[in-house]
Amino acid sequence: MEKALEENLEENIEQKKDSGNEVNENVLNDLKEKLQVQRAELDDKEDRLKRLMAEFDNFKKRSAKEREGLYNSVLSDIAISLLPVIDNLEKAVSVQTEDNNYKVGVELVLKQFKDVLKANGINEIETIGKTFDPELHEAVSSVEDDTLGVQEIKEEYRKGYMIGNKVIRHSLVVVAN
């Protein structure tokens, strides 16, 4: 755009020279000064526009991240309140009963709860046979067992759960060696 303005100015000067009109040096200098002022204003506005666009882009990214964090926080609060219900259903499934239909019904309810959690990005933390990780597991005791490796998890007392990479409840485990 700047080149177009300069070319237009030079073209007008050449036309006046060709038509026999003399170009006053003062007028020419005034026009060049105006052109430089307008060029500086244009550069300033272009710079401000770029900065504003970058700030808006950062705002959108920050807002999306905050929205996701808020969603995960609300989801984890709800999940934490439901986890004791799931724990009790798991205990009910493990109890021996003569009424097989009752047991199947409890198993189906438990499966449905777990499916809902998984559909919302809430996953169980794997424990038995895995290496103890204090960020995922909470050791309630340790035992000596030559058949297991060092810091290997032998038993799980309570399941742990995560949303993405965030632990919402640590697994309670027994660690070997």
pLDDT per residue as tens, the chain (177 positions): 666 766 776 776 666 665 555 557 888 888 889 999 999 999 999 999 999 999 999 999 999 999 998 998 999 999 999 999 999 999 999 999 999 999 999 999 999 999 999 999 999 999 999 999 999 999 999 999 888 989 999 999 999 999 988 999 999 999 998
Separation between Cα atoms, residue 39 and residue 54, nearest integer Å: 23
pTM (two decimals): 0.66
- Burial of residue 25, with CB atoms counted within 10 A of its CB: 0-12 exposed, 13-18 middle, 19 or more buried: exposed
Separation between Cα atoms, residue 95 and residue 92, nearest integer Å: 5
User: What's residue 40's pLDDT?
Assistant: 95
Q: Which residues contact 84 (CB under 8 A, 6 or more apart)?
A: none
Question: What DSSP element (H or E) covers 19?
Answer: none
User: What's residue 19's pLDDT?
Assistant: 56
CB 106 within 8 A of CB 92: yes
The DSSP code for 5 is: H
Q: What are phi and psi of 97, to 5 degrees?
A: -145, 150
CATH 3.40.50.720 at 122-177, yes or no: no
Nearest CA-CA partner of 120 in 80, 173, 66: 80
Instruction: Find the angle CA(10)-CA(12)-CA(13) to the nearest 5 degrees.
Output: 65
User: What's residue 89's pLDDT?
Assistant: 96
CB 134 within 8 A of CB 170: no
Q: What are the domain boundaries of the chain?
A: 122-177
Separation between Cα atoms, residue 81 and residue 89, nearest integer Å: 14
Separation between Cα atoms, residue 106 and residue 93, nearest integer Å: 6
Residue 20 to residues 1, 15, 23, 37: CA-CA distances in angstroms? 29, 9, 9, 29
CB 171 within 8 A of CB 138: yes
